[in-house]
Amino acid sequence: MSFYGFGLFKEYQTRDCGKYAKKLGKILDFFPEDLSLTISKLDHISGASVVLYHKPTGKKIAWGHLMMMPGCCGLVVSTGSYVNPDYRNKGVGTIMHKIRKDIAGEAGFSCMICTDVMNNKPQQKILKNAKWKFVHKFLNRNTGNTVGIHITNVKDVDV
């Protein structure tokens, strides 16, 4: 186990949704105890995958990844956020963002960074409401997408 980062997580763990369980249950019309989170370490890098499941059906509701920024053990990259189309426009993406931020805090990270395609309006709304700071945009020459870079502190502490 490393002294920082995702070494504190076992290869795979399941947990309940904690302080978000009731709200998720309400917006998804599920019993809170029927929802679970899995956190699994990514093999090839220092990172973790976070997945929200409906336990009775085994259906994935939403997921995303957290990866330590190479060369900086204080910065985590939030990437690959996705909400199953059956559960969109209910606030799941916002809650999953908060859950990933909490997990990053548990792992000892101070700051989070993410990229997003600038025409992804739902993601833009989540980032704006969560007070992520937009810092830069660029044209991804591989995809042709305009991509935004956003940053936030893991804990609400200004330096």
113 half-sphere exposure, CB direction, 13 A CA radius: 15
Q: Which of 119, 125, 68 is nearest to 93 (CA)?
A: 125
pLDDT at 156: 65
Mean pLDDT, the chain, rounded, equals: 88
Q: Which two tokens stand for residue 54?
A: 């409906």
pTM comes to: 0.86
Question: Residue 5: pLDDT above 80?
Answer: no
pLDDT mean over 93-120? 92
pLDDT at 41: 77
CA 44 to chain centre: 18
pLDDT at 2: 43
Q: What's 83's domain CATH number?
A: 3.40.630.30
On whether residue 158 sits in a domain, the answer given is no
Assess contact for 138 and 146: CB atoms under 8 A: yes
Question: Tens digit of pLDDT for each residue in 51-100?
Answer: 999 999 999 999 999 998 888 888 999 999 999 999 999 999 999 999 99
pLDDT at 136: 97
pLDDT mean over 111-128? 94
On whether residue 105 sits in a domain, the answer given is yes
pLDDT band at 8 (very low <50, low <70, confident <90, very high): low
pLDDT at 148: 96
Residue range(s) defining the domain that contains residue 91: 5-153
Give me the number of domains the chain comprises: 1
pLDDT mean over 38-54? 82
pLDDT band at 46 (very low <50, low <70, confident <90, very high): confident
Cβ burial 25-64 (10 Å sphere, 16+ → b, else e): beebebeeeebebbbbbeeeebbbbbbbbbeeeeeebbbb
pLDDT at 47: 81
